[in-house]
Amino acid sequence: MLSVILIWLYVILTTYLIGYGFISVVLSFSKYGNKGKKSSDKAYRFHSHTGYIMAGVLISTVYAQIWSIFDRVELNCQIFLMFFACVSGVVYRDKMSEELRMLLRILRSYKSRILYLIVFFLMAYGTSNGIMHYDSDLYHAQAIRWIEEYGVIKGLGNLHVRLAYNSAAFPLSALFSMNFLQLDRSYHVMAGFFALILAWECVDLKSVVRRGNIVISDFARLAAIYYLFGIYDEMVAPASDYFLATLAFYIVIKWLDLYVRREHSYVPYIFLTFLSVFATTIKLVAAPLMLIATIPIYRLLKNRSKYKLRVFYASVAGALLIAIPFFVRNVLISGWLMYPVTAIDLFNVDWKIPKGVAEYDALEIKTFGRGFSDVPTYAHAPFSVWLPNWFASLSTFNKMIIIMDILAILVYIALSIHYVLVDAKESVLGEKKIPGKVFDINMRSMLRTGDFFAIGGTMIVCFLFWMASAPLIRYGVVFALLTAVVILGRVVILLINKLDKNRKEIVFKVFVAITFLWLVYKGVNLVVDAEKRFNPSYLLKQQDYGTYEVKSYEVNGTTFYYPTEGDRVGYDPFPSSPENLDGKLEFIGENIEDGFKKNNDI
């Protein structure tokens, strides 16, 4: 636990400094419009201190990916990262000091500071030990070690196809694994760090008492808290699923807060759009999340001023800079732009994973996501064949969530029809209001019409995309939860708004009481479960990856390892594959650094 805390403090310091510099540059860019005149964004102040950290995490991840293309991610990479952080700290030291003083004023309450510290230590303990994800010992650990030892290796997916599942989470994990310190292990703390940032964001749920009313982002925070309780004993593992889900929750919560606050500045929306692109580089299932930027893009392009077009083009350029290193790594590792997607076939390189292998791998992922292992039988099965068995295999709570998602989609369709047929005179962006209609937005707890359609529609597309691709619940539970709470949450708030004052107060008190009791119940269960796994050694050091018995084989004089039983090898020994590839694999050149390719003589 102590090791996790020390690494997190280092991560917070570096990412905050780098993120502050990045946000300051974006603010400076957006300050002036046409002919040097100041724009409407001139007075905008970035409200989120977790946002500075997430901006720094984003930049650090892109940096680590670019570095890995040319060299291994180790001490030199850290030195340059610290240099960038120090430069940002020096350049913006005055403004940063003012921001930190403002943060202390926000946390002037002794109870607030204690609460944030409790969450910090609680999440640090959860990240120090728990249940190591099966796939982490199967390929996550090896993928991270390849980045630590070599950076990007051409054709690495030929050693193990799952090493071709490129994720931005792995270079980030390698960046902060502290492997360069030559300690007795490679630390894996970043999945827990993402959970920590989300948990800190969820602490804002306490403001519901001060507000005296419920806003739609409160429902999203409750869903996120439920998810955090669910992964508490698993976030010790560097699984990309946890990175994606926590980041997606963070994006949607912050987006809903902006909508409720009626934020007009483009800056925070652009930042969240960048995070949506970042989420896609972590796991491709998040690709539809970028649709959330529909309304801000529309507003930028609606008035074709040179300033707004410049902001739009700069945003596109920023998104490409985030995505390009991810795609380059894909091509180098697998020979495909988005492995295992074979529809886009642009490269003919020696190390390319054979198309048939990639296609079968994609079908295997889909079949496994549907709850089956028989690829030929169920890969192309219609919904009517696999859906009943898939649904039956879910837990009772997850079944309820899926049913709520279906209800939410029907409600969304009904509201859309009502809007077209009845409220057609209302502005698409909700800037005009017709009293008494479905989209009454008297209270700030509601979303404007266009905002609701954009974020609700985005959640539905994310949910359906997940269902159509590989609907394993851990892959897309974030979209299942958010689809229900965003759409049905709006309906609940609409109904509350129609009550008289006394009934609103009663509903609000009941909501607060139930939420408090639920948190206490989940908290007690969390402590009981953690006590069963308590190990004093984890109070100092983080739990390591699993260890397995292995055998060895050689390729061009280099020793490789494979498990005696099963298919997992953990972090050590290295390099490894899930099976003996003697005679099936060859180097592109003379050395392992030159990369791998399949032996075509087989």
pLDDT digits (tens, 9 = 90+) for 583-594: 888 999 888 999
- Rounded CA separation 497/311 (Å): 37
24-38, 101-115, 329-343, 426-440: range with lowest mean pLDDT = 426-440
Residue 262 lies in a domain: yes
> Mean pLDDT throughout 391-420?
92
Contacts 24+ apart (CB under 8 A), 179-184: 179/74, 179/145, 179/148, 180/74, 180/75, 180/78, 180/148
What is the torsional sign of CA 85, 86, 91, 93?
positive
- Rounded CA separation 158/581 (Å): 10
Q: How many CB atoms lie within 10 A of CB 518?
A: 14
> Mean pLDDT throughout 49-71?
95
- Rounded CA separation 549/422 (Å): 68
Structure tokens at 37: 């005149």
Q: Are residues 405 and 261 located together in one domain of the fold?
A: no
pLDDT of 477 reads: 94
Asked if pLDDT for residue 537 goes beyond 50, the answer is yes
Q: What share of the chain is helix, strand, coil (3-state, %, to 5)?
A: 65, 5, 30
- Rounded CA separation 248/385 (Å): 31
Q: Which residue has the tokens 């003083």?
A: 101
Q: Are residues 508 and 489 located together in one domain of the fold?
A: no
Instruction: Label residue 340 exposed, middle or buried (CB < 10 Å: 0-12, 13-18, 19+).
Output: buried
Structure tokens at 598: 């399949």
Task: Give the pLDDT band (50/70/90) at residue 446.
Answer: low
pLDDT of 601 reads: 57
Task: Give the pLDDT band (50/70/90) at residue 267.
Answer: confident
Counting residues of the chain whose pLDDT is more than 70, the rounded percentage is 91
pLDDT of 203 reads: 93
Asked if pLDDT for residue 422 goes beyond 50, the answer is yes
99-108, 126-135, 540-549: range with lowest mean pLDDT = 99-108
Q: Is the peptide bond before 288 cis (omega within 30 degrees of 0)?
A: no
Tell which of 498, 522, 555 closes a domain.
498
> Mean pLDDT throughout 165-185?
91
- Rounded CA separation 213/444 (Å): 10
Element of type H or E holding 551: strand 550-555
Q: Which residue has the tokens 């905008």?
A: 44
Residue 574 lies in a domain: no
Q: Give the residue ranges of DSSP H helices in 422-538.
A: 449-469, 473-497, 501-532
Q: Are residues 63 and 184 located together in one domain of the fold?
A: yes
Measured between alpha carbons, how far is residue 415 from residues 241, 296, 410, 491, 495 in Å?
32, 22, 9, 10, 14
What is the torsional sign of CA 184, 186, 188, 193?
positive
pLDDT of 237 reads: 95
Tell which of 334, 353, 373 closes a domain.
334
- Rounded CA separation 470/362 (Å): 9
Task: Give the pLDDT band (50/70/90) at residue 101.
Answer: confident
Asked if pLDDT for residue 577 goes beyond 60, the answer is yes
Residue 446 lies in a domain: yes
pLDDT of 108 reads: 65
Tell which of 481, 498, 515 closes a domain.
498
Q: Are residues 413 and 517 located together in one domain of the fold?
A: no
Task: Give the pLDDT band (50/70/90) at residue 513.
Answer: very high
Q: Are residues 265 and 295 located together in one domain of the fold?
A: yes
pLDDT of 517 reads: 95
Q: Are residues 433 and 525 located together in one domain of the fold?
A: no
Structure tokens at 228: 């955090």
Angle of helix 240-261 relative to helix 473-497, nearest 10 degrees, comes to 20
Backbone angles phi, psi at 598, to 5 degrees: -70, 145
Residue 431 lies in a domain: yes
> Mean pLDDT throughout 450-479?
91
pLDDT of 423 reads: 59
Q: Are residues 424 and 479 located together in one domain of the fold?
A: yes
pLDDT of 82 reads: 95
Element of type H or E holding 200: helix 190-202
> Mean pLDDT throughout 245-265?
90
pLDDT digits (tens, 9 = 90+) for 270-306: 899 999 999 999 999 999 999 988 878 877 777 777 7
pLDDT of 39 reads: 47
Q: What's the whole-number average pLDDT of the chain? A: 87
pLDDT digits (tens, 9 = 90+) for 17-50: 999 999 888 877 666 444 444 444 444 566 678 8
Q: Are residues 249 and 322 located together in one domain of the fold?
A: yes
Residue 177, domain extent: 2-30+44-334
21-30, 182-191, 235-244, 508-517: range with lowest mean pLDDT = 21-30
Domain count, the chain: 3
Asked if pLDDT for residue 315 goes beyond 80, the answer is yes
Q: How many CB atoms lie within 10 A of CB 177?
A: 25
What is the torsional sign of CA 505, 506, 507, 509?
positive
pLDDT of 43 reads: 47
Most confident of 234-248, 257-271, 364-378: 234-248
Q: Are residues 9 and 117 located together in one domain of the fold?
A: yes
Residue 587 lies in a domain: no
189 against 531, higher pLDDT = 189
155 against 442, higher pLDDT = 155
Element of type H or E holding 417: helix 396-421
Residue 21 lies in a domain: yes
- Rounded CA separation 353/598 (Å): 8
Query: What is the SS3 assignment for 321?
Result: helix
- Rounded CA separation 373/367 (Å): 6
- Rounded CA separation 76/64 (Å): 11
pLDDT of 447 reads: 67
Segments of 405-444 assigned E as strands:
none
Q: Are residues 299 and 419 located together in one domain of the fold?
A: no
Counting residues of the chain whose pLDDT is more than 90, the rounded percentage is 60
Measured between alpha carbons, how far is residue 542 from residues 125, 149, 233, 405, 519 in Å?
9, 21, 13, 38, 27
Q: Are residues 221 and 289 located together in one domain of the fold?
A: yes
Q: Are residues 490 and 516 located together in one domain of the fold?
A: no
| CB distance 293 to 271 below 8 Å | no
pLDDT of 225 reads: 97
70-79, 368-377, 397-406: range with lowest mean pLDDT = 368-377
Q: How many CB atoms lie within 10 A of CB 270?
A: 23
Q: Which residue has the tokens 């910090």?
A: 120
pLDDT of 30 reads: 61
pLDDT of 33 reads: 44
pLDDT of 137 reads: 95
Measured between alpha carbons, how far is residue 597 from residues 400, 580, 601 in Å?
47, 15, 12
- Rounded CA separation 315/321 (Å): 10
